[in-house]
């Protein structure tokens, strides 16, 4: 348990507010994993939190969140309990004697949508900025394993949604009807895949079927969020399994049809894509994750090289390949240009004729991509590459030639 998160929980409780550790922090602690962050849910309103903590700032327009800042750069995100205005709860969950440090309702809370949920109805969440009670906050979360609360004062896990059994059995299951929950927020499709891959859990059959059935709804999600989740697949150390699940469910064909078609061919070059993803996962395990530009380049290297191979104008072919992808995912121009530079440098790196390449600011990233690709092919990385990776860790500046006075 993070001591600063504990400090936040204790102060909120001391001043009469209900406060629990929530979400991924509880899940990861129960799985004996190190949480990436610790989030707090409380009955205190954002301005009340701000009055209790001098190191607090309130952010957000649509939904106000309190960020409590600490000297080491850590942020404890504190949110007021919310509820989903589009759903009602059929019966309030009772609390039973724990026996073990677990408090829960006699059975998982049943959600009843206020809308009829017809196929042509727009269920996309646009406003959930409504404060509520703890059990209402739990049932508005995406998956049962993310709907657990931890009461620090009593040392109890509070489960309103049946998350503990799913955690113990290794199952990613939606809170409520999976079809409705995915249509409310299609990003949940990618989150389900991410949690299944990263936590090595199975996907509940009903949720899996809903993912396959509603994958086209991803076109309605915010495009920057789509790109961020695709990058998180690789940043989290489970890129290989995440992209395999995406390909298997047809999700990849919705977001990256260029890559999906390339993998469908099942050619040796397609196998290299899976090998690169496995190497990136290994790098993550060693704490050596490369930049987003290298991650995206390694992912798309196969179909990109196939697209520019043998053409008279590789630059134009690159632009044609990236045009629809950029529109689909709102790829930042800076990131696209960096991918172009890394791709263009690979031929020179493979020939070993570097010329002025080591003086380019992107050279360390180009070299990282070269080494990933080389190892994916089962080839020995040249000694000069290891030497350059040490020497060129920081970009060098090109010296200006002094003009000779006439």
- Known catalytic residues? 37, 39, 142
What is d(CA 188, CA 166) in angstroms, rounded to the nearest whole number?
17
Which pair of tokens denotes residue 404? 């000779």
b/e per residue, 189-219, with b = 16+ CB within 10 A? bbbbbbbbbbbebebbeebbebbeebbebbe
Where does 105-256 have alpha helices with state H? 134-139, 163-169, 178-184, 187-199, 205-214, 223-235, 239-249, 251-255
Q: Measuring CA to CA, which residue among 167, 179, 49 is closest to residue 111?
A: 179
Q: How big is the CA angle at 401 (ends 397 and 406), to the nearest 5 degrees? A: 160
Where does 31-141 have alpha helices with state H? 46-52, 134-139
User: Which residue's structure tokens are 């053409």?
Assistant: 311
What is d(CA 338, CA 343) in angstroms, rounded to the nearest whole number?
9
What is d(CA 253, CA 247) in angstroms, rounded to the nearest whole number?
7
What is d(CA 80, CA 46) in angstroms, rounded to the nearest whole number?
7
């Amino acid at each position: 348990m993070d001591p600063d998160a504990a400090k936040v929980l204790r102060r909120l409780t001391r001043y009469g507010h209900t406060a629990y550790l929530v979400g991924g922090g509880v899940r990861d602690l129960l799985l004996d994993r190190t949480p990436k962050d610790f989030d707090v849910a409380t009955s205190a309103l954002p301005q009340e939190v701000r009055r209790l903590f001098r190191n607090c700032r309130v952010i957000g327009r649509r939904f106000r969140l309190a960020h409590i800042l600490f000297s080491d750069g850590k942020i404890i995100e504190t949110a007021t309990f919310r509820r989903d205005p589009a759903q009602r709860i059929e019966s309030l969950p009772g609390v039973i004697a724990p026996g073990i440090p677990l408090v829960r309702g006699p059975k998982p809370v049943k959600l009843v949508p206020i809308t009829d949920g017809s196929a042509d109805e727009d269920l996309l969440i646009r406003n959930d900025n409504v404060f509520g009670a703890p059990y209402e906050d739990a049932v508005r979360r995406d998956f049962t394993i993310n709907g657990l609360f931890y009461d620090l004062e009593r040392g109890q896990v509070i489960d309103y949604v049946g998350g503990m059994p799913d955690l113990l059995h290794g199952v990613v299951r939606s809170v409520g009807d999976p079809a409705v929950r995915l249509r409310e927020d299609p990003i949940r499709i990618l989150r389900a895949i991410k949690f299944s891959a990263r936590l090595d859990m199975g996907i509940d059959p009903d949720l899996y079927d809903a993912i396959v059935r509603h994958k086209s709804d991803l076109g309605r999600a915010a495009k920057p969020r789509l790109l961020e989740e695709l990058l998180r697949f690789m940043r989290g150390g489970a890129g290989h399994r995440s992209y395999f699940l995406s390909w298997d469910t047809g999700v990849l064909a919705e977001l990256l049809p260029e890559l999906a078609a390339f993998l469908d061919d099942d050619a040796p070059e397609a196998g290299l894509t899976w090998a690169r993803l496995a190497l990136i996962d290994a790098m993550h395990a060693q704490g050596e994750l490369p930049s987003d530009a290298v991650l995206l380049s390694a992912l798309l290297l196969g179909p990109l090289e196939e697209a520019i191979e043998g053409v008279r104008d590789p630059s134009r072919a690159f632009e044609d390949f990236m045009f629809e992808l950029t529109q689909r995912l709102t790829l930042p121009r800076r990131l696209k240009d960096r991918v172009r530079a890394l791709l263009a440098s690979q031929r020179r790196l493979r020939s070993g004729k570097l010329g002025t390449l080591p003086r380019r600011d992107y050279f360390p990233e180009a070299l990282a991509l070269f080494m990933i690709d080389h190892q994916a092919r089962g080839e020995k990385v040249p000694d000069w590459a290891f030497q350059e990776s040490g020497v060129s860790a920081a970009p060098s500046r090109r010296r200006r030639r002094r003009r000779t006075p006439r």
